[in-house]
Amino acid sequence: MTANLTKQTHFDAIIIGGGACGLMCAVQAGFLGKRTLVLEKNDRVGAKILISGGGRCNYTNLHTTHKQFISQNEHFSRSALAQWTVDDTISFFETYGIEGKEKTLGQLFPATNKAKDIVEMFTSLCNDLDQQIQCNTEVVAVRQTSEGFEVDTLHYNRQETLFATKVVIASGGLPIQKLGASDFGLRVARSFGMRVTTTSPALVPLTITGKDQPWYEQLSGNSIFCRVWNDRASFEENILFTHWGLSGPAILQISSYWKPGELIYVDMLPGQDIAELITTEREQNGKKTLLNYLAGLFTKKFADALSGHLPVNKNLASLSKTDMESISNLIHEFKVKPAGSKGYDKAEVMTGGVDTDELSSKTLEAKKIPGLFFGGECVDVTGWLGGYNFQWAWASGFVIAQSI
């Protein structure tokens, strides 16, 4: 390894991380006539964009407000989201050839269903706007000097220190190390004396172990529409049973609000009342067994699984008041005690990150370190499932580009 002297650069800013936030920042800076250098440790940019949404990239959500973001300061994302709105994302993507197609719940995907179209749009814009992308370059440290910042890089095995007056940390969060995820943004923040809030995997499947695990395993592959909640949030979407626990959109959503040791609650018939349904049914079909009734309502497999918890062999006419209460509790307030989560390898995002108190919500510049900016997932702003995280990444990239 050879050491080099600090190299002056002719860029207005160095952007660390060629992901959603870094690429948008480079392009928007280019529109303003500025020049940036994007340093990316992978051999290509946009690794997470490429695999997102099952390779289709759910790039925004029509219903975005600051309320779909988790942060110690729930108002922090307002300014960036107002400066770069969902309409801005849609028209920007359309202008550069990507028509959106709404799937469920306001989720927008490219009409072509190809996430790679988005990465290609950004790389070709960077090229047209003379923004330089340097891959295979890991940034190992950032230091402040009297005139700006020294950025220590490793390009293959070559060590080089670059100088820039402004630095943007867009190095993402902790999920999925093999895609380049690192704690770099958090380390830089700490090295500058900035606070970092506790991080944990979010939008992540939850595991069940011990005596309860076989119950979940027997239902592996089954999916039901539920309301899932705890005392902080509630979501109505599908849950998916697996041999190790629970997944599916409703579980991923609640996982961002779950803390180890806590229960989550599941209503398997949201918006309906099982006691009323049974009362109506037994007027017509009192001899029907509870098992058959539940099999019609859900699936036979699911009804069988409930047989350990309920008097399923009784016919509807003979169910007592206590039976009805047990059925109601089980169906409408099923208690789940996850053992843990599948961790950063299976999480889509992380909660926590650079403390928003350390940043200007308007510019995302560090309050104590002028010229240093943090955007995207490394900041303590975490979106719900459904395109919100990319909307935050685009918005924060745009906002930073205005100030570098």
Ligand X SMILES: Cc1cc2nc3c(=O)[nH]c(=O)nc-3n(C[C@H](O)[C@H](O)[C@H](O)COP(=O)(O)OP(=O)(O)OC[C@H]3O[C@@H](n4cnc5c(N)ncnc54)[C@H](O)[C@@H]3O)c2cc1C
Binding site for ligand X (CB under 6 A): 16-22, 39-42, 47-48, 51-53, 57-58, 138-139, 170-172, 175-176, 180, 182, 184, 348-349, 376-377, 387-390, 393
C-beta of 83: minimal distance to ligand X in Å? 17
Residue nearest to ligand X (CB): 19
Residue 301 Cβ vs ligand X, minimum distance, rounded to whole Å: 29
**268: three-class secondary structure by DSSP:** coil
Amino acid of residue 273: D
**Residue 354 identity:** V
* Nearer CB in complex with ligand X: 332/356: 356
CB of 322 to ligand X, least distance (A): 46
Give the H/E segment covering residue 242.
strand 234-242
Burial class (CB in 10 A: 0-12, 13-18, 19+), 150: middle
Strand partners, 241: 246
- Residue 280 burial class via C-beta count within 10 angstroms: exposed 0-12, middle 13-18, buried 19 and up: exposed
Q: Could you tell me the smallest distance in angstroms from the CB atom of residue 56 to ligand X?
A: 7
Q: What's the first-to-final CA gap in the chain, in angstroms?
A: 32
CB of 71 to ligand X, least distance (A): 14
CB of 57 to ligand X, least distance (A): 6
Q: What gap in Å lies between CA 204 and CA 185, rounded to an integer?
A: 21
- Give all strands of the β-sheet with 167-169 in edge-to-edge order: 132-134, 36-39, 13-16, 167-169, 372-374
- Work out how close the CB of 160 gets to ligand X at its nearest, in angstroms, rounded to a whole number: 13
- Considering beta carbons, is residue 186 or 290 the nearer one to ligand X? 186
SS3 annotation, 269-289: CCCCCHHHHHHHHHHHHCCCE
Give me the residue label for tokens 């992978």. 42
Complex with ligand X: residue 14 or 254, whichever CB lies closer: 14
Nearer to ligand X, 139 or 196 (CB): 139
DSSP secondary structure string for all residues of 151-205: EEEEETTEEEEEEES-EEE----SS-GGGT--SHHHHHHHHTT--B---EEES--
Please report how close the Cβ of residue 366 comes to ligand X at its closest, in angstroms: 16
**Strand 334-336 and strand 264-267: pairing?**
antiparallel
- C-beta closer to ligand X: residue 41 or 227: 41
d(C-alpha 220, C-alpha 245), whole Å: 8
Collect all residues with Cβ–Cβ distance below 8 Å to 143 and sequence separation of at least 6: 149, 150, 152
Q: Please, which residue, 53 or 245, has the CB nearer to ligand X? A: 53
Q: Sort 394 into a burial class: Cβ within 10 Å, 0-12 / 13-18 / 19+.
A: buried
CB of 384 to ligand X, least distance (A): 9
Q: Which is closer to ligand X, CB of 192 or CB of 265? A: 192
Comparing CB distances to ligand X, the nearer of 139 and 290 is 139
- Closer of 28 and 293 to ligand X (Cβ): 28
- Closest contact distance (angstroms) between CB of 285 and ligand X is 45
Q: Which is nearer to ligand X, 43 or 231 (CB)?
A: 43
Q: What's the burial of 94, exposed, middle or buried (CB within 10 Å: 0-12/13-18/19+)?
A: exposed
Q: Characterise 203 by phi-psi region: left (phi > 0), alpha (psi -120 to 50), beta (else).
A: left
